[in-house]
């Protein structure tokens, strides 16, 4: 069977769903951040798969998405370290105070 664009879209959708489940169900902030990376990668796969049909814009945009993911990871992990230093926990549902 020939591998068409739809095949890639299905893989991307599966990764997106897995990532979303991870974000919505896990408590550990590190794993939530990793799930966000999964979601961004699913988006990237979609963009690159479509770039084969419509031109290189998709690839260029996926590079921007990777840049964005780097920025997000840096800031997110910075927040995580600051939070861990103050509260000694990395569970998302214990982050429920605006000030302490």
Partner 1 sequence: MNPVATEFFFYGLSAVAIISGILVITRRNPVHSAIALIFTLLSLAGLYLMLYAPFVAGVQIILYVGGIMVLFLFVIMLVNIEQAQRVEQFNKQWHVGVAATLALGALLVYVYLKGQSVFPHRPLLFSEEQNTQQVGKMLYVDYLLPFEIASVLLLVAIVGAVVMAKKRI
Look up residue 81 and give its DSSP letter.
Answer: H
The residue from 43, 72, 98, 100 that contacts partner 1 (CB under 8 A) is: 72
d(CA 96, CA 72): 21
98 is a site residue for partner 1 (CB under 8 A): no
Write down the least CB distance from residue 97 to partner 1, Å. 17
Does position 95 bind partner 1 by CB under 8 A?
no
Quote the CA–CA distance of 15 and 3 in Å, as a whole number: 18
Q: Whose structure tokens read 């919505």?
A: 24
Position 62 contacts partner 1 (CB under 8 A)? yes
Q: Is 93 in the site for partner 1 (CB under 8 A)?
A: yes
């Amino acid at each position: 069977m020939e591998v068409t664009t739809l095949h890639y879209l299905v893989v991307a959708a599966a990764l997106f769903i897995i990532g979303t489940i991870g974000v919505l169900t896990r408590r550990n902030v590190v794993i939530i951040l990793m799930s966000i990376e999964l979601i961004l990668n699913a988006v990237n796969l979609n963009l690159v798969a479509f770039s084969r049909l419509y031109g290189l814009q998709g690839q260029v945009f996926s590079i921007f998405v990777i840049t964005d993911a780097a920025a997000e990871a840096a800031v997110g992990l910075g927040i995580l370290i600051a939070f861990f230093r103050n509260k000694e926990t990395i569970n998302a549902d214990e982050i429920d105070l605006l000030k302490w």
